[in-house]
Structure 1
Amino acid sequence: MSNIYESAEATLGFISSPCLTKVELRVACRGISDRDALSKPDPCVVLKMQSHGQWFEVDRTEVIRSSSGPVFSKIFLVDYYFEEVQRLRFELHDISSGNNGLRDADFLGAMECTLGQIVSQRKLTKALLKQGNTAGKSSITVTAEELSGNDDYVELSFSARKLDDKDFFSKSDPFLEIFRINDDGTESLVHRTETVMNNLSPVWKSFKVSLNTLCSGDHDRELKVAIDFTASNGDPRNSCSLHYIHPYQPNEYLKALVAVGEICQDYDSDKMFPAFGFGALIPPDFKVSHDFAVNFDEDNPECAGIQGVVEAYQNCLPKIQLYGPTNIAPIIQKVASSASEEMHTKEAMEYFILLILTDGVITDMADTREAIVHASHLPMSVIIVGVGNADFTDMQILDGDDGILRSPKGEPVLRDIVQFVPFKDFKHASPAALAKSVLAEVPNQVVDYYNAKGIKPKCMSDYESTRTFSP
């Protein structure tokens, strides 16, 4: 990781936010080493969350006796903030029946990640680490379900009769696992009942489950980045330039890119971000372009993570000539083209977020208004971060908070899809505050689009509810 990227990333902090939803987390482990030759471990997972650099326990699972591959029935319910980096730590402990809780337990390993990573992937599996090394072949899997504020719940009860004896001398110790069948044919555990010991006709405790949990499908968000390379930013070789590359300190563009991008990248399934530039003369013929790939690969403009965008940006600057004018309609139209193709697919499950970093007055205002009105019908949002001290009146008009944006012909936007924030307003604030302000409207914009189109997360028509196992 580059020093510039680390420097910008390290400044991100934690802030309170009204953009909240609830998430259910379920945990399972595999490959836990036996305690010794005669007994298996009694595992328990402790969930911790980081705040101000310290880890605090949130909750813990039940202890499952004598298991090297436990599937815990405990569900962690956590608050999920779209625009924050929420760091989680899952610790696995072996709690034998004779000890006094975690103090005397054996630490078996831990896994760290962000809540956004789990939510975006819906199922995250990583190796357990112990003192910086992998803990044998052990791994932990965490699955996530987002709950809407008006989730409906159903209560389920199960029983069985005339199960087979385990052997001549003992009866079975049955439990039920309830799975959801996903659209791709894989299975996700919904609930695991308690084990009823020595019983051929068990009756398990009833439990409540969200109807959302029984449904599969989600809307993927794809982030695309556009960077202003017009001459008004100043010569990158000059320390006064907004594009000045210091060996160890991020410039204004990098600060804004990392602050917003670090949040957005958790919600992109493949973590590959197309990055474009506008307003520069580009090689080999040095003609002006308003939608060129920052990595100069027009067939594949994607960069690996926000760090990849930072590196492509740094490599790009010495090879181009800053020019102008500041035309942003072409890049909006480019992303709108992808969004239009997605809208006409059967699934229409992908939503596009265009992040524009710019320093100046728009010179194609009429075309930009037309492009935004057209894009307001599509699965996309436009985030504009103003860098520097220029007059951003045009950007505020595009934002539409003070009135309905209209095309030059008078057609109004179907919905508000633009959010503008001047970076100078956050000079003395945490960059995380910038991310909060920029991204706070995105969740509602996503929901408004799919509600208007009548597109919902897909739910199974036939739900295979149970499978019975003997422990």
Structure 2
Amino acid sequence: MSNIYESAEATLGFISSPCLTKVELRVACRGISDRDALSKPDPCVVLKVQSHGQWFEVDRTEVIRSSSGPVFSKIFLVDYYFEEVQRLRFELHDISSGNNGLREADFLGAMECTLGQIVSQRKLTKALLKQGNTAGKSSIMVTAEELSGNDDYVELSFSARKLDDKDFFSKSDPFLEIFRLNDDGTESLVHRTETVMNNLSPVWKSFKVSLNTLCSGDHDRDLKVAIDFTASNGDPRNSCSLHYIHPYQPNEYLKALVAVGEICQDYDSDKMFPAFGFGALIPPDFKVSHDFAVNFDEDNPECAGIQGVVEAYQNCLPKIQLYGPTNIAPIIQKVASSASEEMHTKEAMEYFILLILTDGVITDMADTREAIVHASHLPMSVIIVGVGNADFTDMQILDGDDGILRSPKGEPVLRDIVQFVPFKDFKHASPAALAKSVLAEVPNQVVDYYNAKGIKPKCMSDYESTRTLGP
């Protein structure tokens, strides 16, 4: 089963698109050991990005002399695309004095992750892996700060005079650290200047800092999956079926699921995804259901990661009978119920994304329109991927791009929350292109909802009071 998942996952490639926003990355390390027992290392971190399966260096930090717990002043500014999987690699090198190249440097370890993981967690700490992927005692911390397009900046300059030095025979090697005082009384590092060697009256380089650094945050995006198990998909045992499980090639349902899920899972805090099915006769009494748990655990329909959803889907197929009709209002209403409960909580920080994978024309259009109009008032978005070659005209109506969707009673949607994409338009493209298309509108939908409710992002200190960048 994992071969199918890995096959679909491997097709996710690097696709350039207009930059959604920019992100500042700050790096610190802890517990660095050095091959030379008589001295501490001179660490430097190199940032690389993966494109078409290859790693390319994009930037590197300064070298900090004689430090086993460096906090680098260099800030990596990277373009951030919510709808893409952006794979990053942080390499730590020990660069000897007088040599700034990497050829003669000692490799101390590396950490790989996605930019989405850093942005969603705000602060990512992982062990540095050495040659052979063995983990040592050292770790790297990467902190992210999202910058909006209209960020305000302030330029800061610092100097000092007549510093005292305890060493009578030499002057100080001073550097300056600037901290932000959080609401709970803890401190978070904002900037670390360069070290000015042998100087009692240093003048440090000026630097710009975003005012958003004072307060930033995000909302947890909760992905829920709904899969069409109606008879129009064809017998899963037949190779012509849209649900046919090939030993090594993912079908269209799996390709769409992995393409979108790979993006969304970075923004889900617990990486557990409820998966539902509709339009099938299910055990034990084999009555038709339009909102059953794919893992058959109605009390806990969550699956561990996107791979868990894939495995639940494959295990489910032999146990059900594909039937009909194609009703999607019940699953929208189920997710809307969860979103309504979240809306009435004090913090209301969870936003729901419902991914519906379907092959046919829906048969409960009036109820679906009513459900979408109601859901447009809630913290949720609906993504519909049309699988197969059916007539998806009604789906375009639900999308609302050509006009305002209304309920059967004439009530308009409060905001556009539906995005429909036919999978056949992406058959010859990378699944990453599909993910970009279906997720492109989600960030604005999230922002529109919270702006309309007057809910501001959390301050970084609200996430974890003990999160500081320093070692």
Q: Is the structural similarity TM-score above 0.5? A: yes
Asked whether the 8 Å contact 1:157–1:206 carries over to 2, the reply is yes
Asked whether the 8 Å contact 1:13–1:430 carries over to 2, the reply is yes
Offset, 1:172: 5.0
Distance 1:225 1:462, change over 3 A: closer
Identity %: 99
Question: Which runs of structure 2 are paired with 1:103-252 in the superposition (5 Å)?
Answer: 103-158=103-158, 165-166=165-166, 173-180=173-180, 188-197=188-197, 204-252=204-252
Distance 1:464 1:298, change over 3 A: closer
Distance 1:293 1:152, change over 3 A: same
Asked whether the 8 Å contact 1:28–1:70 carries over to 2, the reply is yes
Aligned residues: 471
TM-score scaled by length of structure 2? 0.93
Asked whether the 8 Å contact 2:188–2:469 carries over to 1, the reply is no
Asked whether the 8 Å contact 2:230–2:280 carries over to 1, the reply is yes
Distance 1:409 1:466, change over 3 A: closer
Offset, 1:322: 1.4
Asked whether the 8 Å contact 1:181–1:463 carries over to 2, the reply is no
Could you give the per-residue CA deviations for residues 5-44 of structure 1, whole angstroms, max 9, x where no partner exists?
Answer: 1111122222221252101111111111134222111000
Distance 1:156 1:309, change over 3 A: same
Q: 1:65: which partner in 2?
A: 65
Offset, 1:275: 0.9
Q: 1:50: which partner in 2?
A: 50
Offset, 1:136: 2.4
Asked whether the 8 Å contact 1:26–1:72 carries over to 2, the reply is yes
Distance 1:375 1:14, change over 3 A: same
Offset, 1:460: 8.1
Distance 1:467 1:248, change over 3 A: closer
Could you give the per-residue CA deviations for residues 268-304 of structure 1, whole angstroms, max 9, x where no partner exists?
Answer: 2222111111111222222222111111122221111
Could you give the per-residue CA deviations for residues 109-152 of structure 1, whole angstroms, max 9, x where no partner exists?
Answer: 11111111111111111111122233521111111111100001
CA distance in 2, matches of 1:464, 1:85: 26
Asked whether the 8 Å contact 1:41–1:66 carries over to 2, the reply is yes
Q: Specify every segment of 5 or more residues in structure 2 that has no aligned partner in the other structure, as ranges.
A: none
Distance 1:56 1:250, change over 3 A: same
Could you give the per-residue CA deviations for residues 363-395 of structure 1, whole angstroms, max 9, x where no partner exists?
Answer: 111111011001111111100000111111111
Asked whether the 8 Å contact 2:276–2:293 carries over to 1, the reply is yes
Q: Specify every segment of 5 or more residues in structure 1 that has no aligned partner in the other structure, as ranges.
A: none
CA distance in 2, matches of 1:356, 1:214: 38
Question: Which sits farther off after the overlay, 139-148 or 15-24?
Answer: 15-24
Offset, 1:346: 2.2
RMSD: 3.0
Asked whether the 8 Å contact 1:173–1:470 carries over to 2, the reply is no
Could you give the per-residue CA deviations for residues 402-433 of structure 1, whole angstroms, max 9, x where no partner exists?
Answer: 11100010000011110001111112222211
Distance 1:323 1:179, change over 3 A: farther
Could you give the per-residue CA deviations for residues 315-361 of structure 1, whole angstroms, max 9, x where no partner exists?
Answer: 11111121211111111111111111222222222211110000111
CA distance in 1, matches of 2:255, 2:468: 53
Distance 1:180 1:274, change over 3 A: farther
Offset, 1:171: 6.0
Question: Which sits farther off after the overlay, 140-149 or 453-462?
Answer: 453-462
Question: Which runs of structure 2 are paired with 1:302-341 in the superposition (5 Å)?
Answer: 302-341=302-341
TM-score scaled by length of structure 1? 0.93
Question: Which sits farther off after the overlay, 374-383 or 158-167?
Answer: 158-167
